[in-house]
């Protein structure tokens, strides 16, 4: 493996199977360390569960209670989104504005952190939750420390700010950040720091930019920790991409959030048809060992019934 591959994939340290956090394989390992070890183990058949914006069906998305809820479920990775306030505070927010998720209005980049804190968060369908505020990245990471891996989805552009916080809190090794930038660009950024977060490329394999990025990784012999592969229709090209990911030694991350990301095999289909095997089972048969979901409890129950999670 070349130096660039080492910088991007961060493969190397651990390669053990995920054990339930109540029964660690090594006494000195905390829960997050066990999950990180699983992420670095392409041979394991256990499936890593990623919860999209936390338990947003029961709590406001990207909120502290939403994080605590998925930790209690036994989820492995908490996916979150970042935005930067006008006074340079990183907060957990998916949208460019606070209109949908809070009682306030306006673009995050135009509002101070103190002003955002005056607004209450809203649950799905616009239900306000009294005295629940939008958390900062620091607050979220303090909750997640040693307990769960954190995936920063929207936020690579804030890499310098994020790593300053993760290093201060001592959680850099349990944070996974992803993006669609060229491999050389990522390697150059990683070269600026002695310690880096895990990194994963996002591949929209049926789009020209995604095809080009995947081909770049292949041509350069780079083996990332995992690939996130997205597709709206299952074609021979998608099948070949997923096969290559698995055979190359990377993990395959898929999203069952909505049909356009997974060719129609999404969470709502699994729930509505009461047939999780038709969705999650099929993804696993195609090689997926990381699944991001909007229905973490349903996915966990299915995996546990198959002996694929704790």
Q: How does pLDDT run across 200-245, given as a tens digit for each residue? A: 999 999 999 999 999 999 999 999 999 999 999 999 999 999 999 9
Closest CA to 288 of 297, 279, 296: 279
Kindly report the number of other CB atoms within 10 A of residue 117's CB atom: 17
d(CA 141, CA 243): 34
Bridge-based pairing state of the strands 82-84 and 149-152: unpaired
**DSSP symbol at 8:** H
Regarding pTM above 0.95, the answer is no
Burial of 72 (0-12, 13-18, 19+ CB in 10 A): exposed
Residue 26 has a pLDDT of 58
Residue 48 has pLDDT above 50, yes or no: yes
Closest CA to 54 of 31, 39, 75, 34: 75
Residue 27 has a pLDDT of 61
Residue 222 has a pLDDT of 96
To 10 degrees, the CA torsion angle through 162, 147, 287, 303? -150
- Average pLDDT of the segment spanning 256-285: 98
Burial of 258 (0-12, 13-18, 19+ CB in 10 A): middle
Residue 256 has pLDDT above 50, yes or no: yes
């Amino acid at each position: 493996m070349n130096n660039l591959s080492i910088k991007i994939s961060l493969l190397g340290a651990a390669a053990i199977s995920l054990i339930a956090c109540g029964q660690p394989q090594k006494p000195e390992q905390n829960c997050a360390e066990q999950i990180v070890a699983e992420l670095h183990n392409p041979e394991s058949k256990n499936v890593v569960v990623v919860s999209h914006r936390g338990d947003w069906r029961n709590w406001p998305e990207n909120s502290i209670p939403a994080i605590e809820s998925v930790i209690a479920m036994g989820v492995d990775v908490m996916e979150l989104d970042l935005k930067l306030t006008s006074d340079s505070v990183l907060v957990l927010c998916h949208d460019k504005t606070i209109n949908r998720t809070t009682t306030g209005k306006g673009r995050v980049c135009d509002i101070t952190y103190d002003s955002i804190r005056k607004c209450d968060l809203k649950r799905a369908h616009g239900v306000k939750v009294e005295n629940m505020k939008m958390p900062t990245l620091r607050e979220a990471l303090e909750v997640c420390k040693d307990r769960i891996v954190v995936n920063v989805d929207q936020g690579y552009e804030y890499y310098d700010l994020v790593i300053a916080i993760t290093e201060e809190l001592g959680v850099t090794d349990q944070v996974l950040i992803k993006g669609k930038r060229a491999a050389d660009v990522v390697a150059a950024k990683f070269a600026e720091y002695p310690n880096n977060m895990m990194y994963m490329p996002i591949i929209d394999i049926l789009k020209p930019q995604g095809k080009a990025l995947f081909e770049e990784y292949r041509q350069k012999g780079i083996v990332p920790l995992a690939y996130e592969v997205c597709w709206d229709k299952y074609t021979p090209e998608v099948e070949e991409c997923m096969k290559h990911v698995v055979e190359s030694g990377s993990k395959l991350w898929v999203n069952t959030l909505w049909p356009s990301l997974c060719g129609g095999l999404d969470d709502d289909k699994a729930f509505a048809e009461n047939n999780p095997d038709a969705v999650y089972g099929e993804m696993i048969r195609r090689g997926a060992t990381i699944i991001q979901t909007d229905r973490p409890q349903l996915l966990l129950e299915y995996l546990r019934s198959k002996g694929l999670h704790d």
